Structure 1
Amino acid sequence: MRAHRLYARDDASECSPDSDVDRLTGLRIGAIFIVLGTSLFGALFPVIARRHRILGLVIPETAFRVAKYFGSGVIIATAFIHLLDPATQELGSPCLAAGWQDYPYAMAICLGSIFMIFIVELIAFRWGTAVLAKVGAQHDAHGHGFPSGSAHGPEGQSRGPNAGANKLEYVDVDDIRGVDKSSGDVEKGSAQLSSDHQPGPLSDSAIAQIIGIAILEFGVLLHSVFVGLTLAVDEEFKILFVVIVFHQTFEGLGVGSRLAYMELPKKYAYVPVVGAILFAITTPVGMAAGLGVRSTYNPNGATANIVSGVLDAFSAGILIYTALVELLAHEFVFNKDMIEGSNTNLAFALVCMMFGAGLMALLGKWA
């Protein structure tokens, strides 16, 4: 999210510090609180609205489905348009040494990030499966592989091939629902934490959900800090500020809609709220830091380009993996309701998702 994306500069001035960063200081300070408010609204509103009545109103479930699929599209567009493209420009900047022009470093870093997240998740779920196997519990990391037509996501449900055939002693009643407390037994593969509260696999346990949302937020938060830093020192502040307000609202809805669909035990009920607040404060924190160093920080310099480009490319890999694997694949390809359900519901979900992606991609014209 660089200033040269808004207005072209000649090569001589492109690497120089902006000359008017001290203008509009009062508005820049006020913008911190405006961005905080819009980010907090976008991320926190879906979380609170899905759990509580607001002003006595019950928001229809359809509204949350729109927000969820719209948010998925926003996250996908953020990865490609707002992260990978700026990273390519930053690491290909003429302000850098000639060696940076000889190889697509942004693409390589993004590729490495995708494989890193994949390997970390693979190891984590292999370890988790082994631990659960020792206590005789069935674990399916993403709801795949069950002959009964398993599904992943808020609408789906999964059962093991021998569900109900055997009884197992249950160990941790806090993390899994559907436990017969009178006998201490639980049906194999019958506990689930989905939004419709139907029986399902251990894949939707609290820890699995928290790890998934943590990966998503990590990529978004890195991006948000540099958004705020750039906004605070950019000489074309007014235009970028308006765009960032919409950007943070839509991205907040994307993150908030995923947080809202987390179904956690009471002891983890604070996690979605904390996740929304973390998202909301990162861009204002970046803006405050930018205002503090605006007299010495050169957003067009070589160091800033390298740091921002590397982190943008790394974040892009995280969001690409999360968007394509955790969102698209699990919400559609491996979701029984999408595969066997009505064409109307499928079309509705696809339209919402593509609308979110299209709107966020359009914002990439200015930011």
Structure 2
Amino acid sequence: MLLFIKLVYLIIIAVACAVGGLAPLIFKKWFGEKSLSYSNCLGSGILIGASFIHLLKDSQELLEDQYDFPLSNLFCAIGFFLSFILERVLFEHKHEHSMPIGLIEQTKHDHEEQDTGNELKLFSVQLHKKNDDETQHGEENSFVLGIGDINQTSPHDDGDDSMINLIDSSKKNHKHGHSHNHHKEKQDQLQQPLQQKKKFPFMLFAVLSLESFISGSALGIQDNEVSVFVTFLAIVSHIWSESFTLSASVMKTRQSLKTIYISCIIFSIVTPLGGLFGLISEKILTHSQSNFTTSILLALASGCFLYVAIFEILAEEFSGDDHHHHHHSDNQDIDIDIELDDDQENNVGHSHQHKHTRKNFFKWIKLFLVGIGFTFMSVIGIVV
């Protein structure tokens, strides 16, 4: 009878895990791409809560009567640094923060065009100054810096006529050659980073699968109905949220739907496999041996959870788009000072301030969702 109850519980856990894994797909359909970032932040809070409040606590309870030394805390730290070494030292990879080569070349081309335009602007200013010196009529002429503004009639020699015609001809040829496809190509290049497929989150998948396997083993190894039910309730209350976190992270890397479904299915059957391992271990290992093994694995998983939540999710989500701002500010120096009128300065300042405020607003939303995820796991820890 106890074996049948365990199998039913494992099936329910697998179904709950699958439902949680499909939830981000529904969120994306209803709320758009932004919901993936929000789901990721919610999931990071869940992972931090699961690490400190569930896994580490369960590990300590299993070892508290056997050792005075805090082995659970030690192996939690080992799990954290082991994850760091695996990802950042042995299998180092870079996150997709750099711009694609095509976009860099396009930007370089734009800057070259801008430098040419600045040289023409400088010549136009010098030309107008020369005309003012020659006429000496005391006329106050207002000139707006720009290639298209050299249309005023003023006395000048044939050399100046030729140079102005050359500037106007250069401008017209540039417009004719680039006006049709330049804007579309630039848009395609800017959209390219959004369409690139990033690396599958193997580290997150590995640590979540490890924790799920250990949880299933803990259920399978229990020897009475009450402990089996308590363990089942503890697992099913948070396993769906871990599946939710995994699917949201996989979707954020722009994997295919097939990959998302496969990862969701594999993760859903990990806990039942752990349960079967627990059933076998119950017949082989003694109670103290199984408790020690489970506690060490739970502590390791706790450290892995903490690493993934901080370095894999939060660091990525809160890095923002700062690299874009650095790129736009590198080549903005020009040969002459251009004085903007008051309206232009106000518009530029207002636009920059609006973007900065909007960016901070979204970061506060993400931080709020991290807190919601952590609070959710805290409440479960109190209730269960």
- Structures share fold, TM-score greater than 0.5: yes
Q: Does 1:113 align with 2:113?
A: no
Cα distance 1:344–1:335, how it changes in 2: closer, same or farther (>3 A)?
same
Unaligned runs of 5+ in 2: 110-184, 325-354
Q: Secondary structure at the match of 2:108?
A: coil
TM-score scaled by structure 2? 0.60
- Partner residue of 2:314 out of 324, 328, 340: 328
Cα distance 1:158–1:41, how it changes in 2: closer, same or farther (>3 A)?
farther
In the alignment, which residue of structure 2 is the partner of 1:349?
366
Code of the aligned partner of 1:365: I
CA distance in 1 between counterparts of 2:319 and 2:372 reads 19
In the alignment, which residue of structure 2 is the partner of 1:85?
57
- Partner residue of 1:60 out of 18, 31, 36: 31
Higher deviation after alignment, 321-330 or 110-119: 110-119
Q: Secondary structure at the match of 2:107?
A: coil
Q: Secondary structure at the match of 1:142?
A: coil
Cα distance 1:120–1:158, how it changes in 2: closer, same or farther (>3 A)?
farther
Instruction: Report runs of 4+ in structure 1 exceeding 6 Å deviation.
Output: 157-163
Q: Note if contact 1:83-1:315 (Cα within 8 Å) is conserved in structure 2.
A: yes
- Partner residue of 1:283 out of 271, 274, 281: 271
In the alignment, which residue of structure 2 is the partner of 1:33?
11
CA distance in 2 between counterparts of 1:277 and 1:289 reads 19
Q: Secondary structure at the match of 1:222?
A: helix
Q: Does 1:312 align with 2:312?
A: no
Q: Secondary structure at the match of 2:30?
A: coil
CA distance in 2 between counterparts of 1:71 and 1:40 reads 16
- Partner residue of 1:165 out of 108, 114, 132: 108
Matches within 5 A, 1:147-226: 164-165=107-108, 198-200=191-193, 206=198, 209-210=199-200, 213-226=201-214
Cα distance 1:26–1:258, how it changes in 2: closer, same or farther (>3 A)?
same
Q: Deviations over 1:88-120 (max 9, x none)?
A: 333x332x3xxx42x332222222332232233
Structure scoring higher RCO (CA < 8 A, sep ≥ 6) equals: 2
Q: Note if contact 2:27-2:35 (Cα within 8 Å) is conserved in structure 1.
A: no
What fraction of aligned residue pairs are identical, expressed as a percent? 22
Q: Does 1:247 align with 2:238?
A: yes
Unaligned runs of 5+ in 1: 1-22, 52-57, 129-140, 151-156, 167-186, 192-196
Code of the aligned partner of 2:296: V
Cα distance 1:158–1:311, how it changes in 2: closer, same or farther (>3 A)?
farther
Cα distance 1:339–1:245, how it changes in 2: closer, same or farther (>3 A)?
farther
**Displacement of 1:82:** 2.1
The structure with more helix, counted as a fraction of residues: 2
CA distance in 1 between counterparts of 2:302 and 2:102 reads 34
Q: Note if contact 2:19-2:240 (Cα within 8 Å) is conserved in structure 1.
A: yes
CA distance in 2 between counterparts of 1:46 and 1:260 reads 8
In the alignment, which residue of structure 1 is the partner of 2:344?
none
Q: Does 1:46 align with 2:17?
A: no
Structure number with bigger Rg? 2
CA distance in 2 between counterparts of 1:125 and 1:25 reads 41
Q: Secondary structure at the match of 1:59?
A: helix
Q: Note if contact 2:16-2:236 (Cα within 8 Å) is conserved in structure 1.
A: yes
TM-score scaled by structure 1? 0.62
Q: Deviations over 1:3-37 (max 9, x none)?
A: xxxxxxxxxxxxxxxxxxxx544332222211111
Cα distance 1:160–1:316, how it changes in 2: closer, same or farther (>3 A)?
farther
Q: Deviations over 1:32-55 (max 9, x none)?
A: 2111111111123424x478xxxx
Q: Note if contact 2:197-2:253 (Cα within 8 Å) is conserved in structure 1.
A: no
Q: Note if contact 2:37-2:252 (Cα within 8 Å) is conserved in structure 1.
A: no
CA distance in 1 between counterparts of 2:17 and 2:315 reads 27
Matches within 5 A, 1:284-303: 284-294=272-282, 298=286, 301-303=287-289
CA distance in 1 between counterparts of 2:279 and 2:210 reads 18
Q: Note if contact 2:76-2:302 (Cα within 8 Å) is conserved in structure 1.
A: yes
CA distance in 2 between counterparts of 1:160 and 1:306 reads 54
CA distance in 2 between counterparts of 1:339 and 1:77 reads 31
- Partner residue of 2:95 out of 121, 132, 142: 142
Q: Secondary structure at the match of 2:191?
A: coil
Q: Note if contact 1:252-1:279 (Cα within 8 Å) is conserved in structure 2.
A: yes
**Displacement of 1:331:** 0.8
Q: Deviations over 1:269-320 (max 9, x none)?
A: 643333222221111112233345545655xx33122211221222222221
- Partner residue of 2:217 out of 198, 222, 229: 229
Code of the aligned partner of 2:31: P
**Displacement of 1:224:** 0.9
**Displacement of 1:160:** 8.7
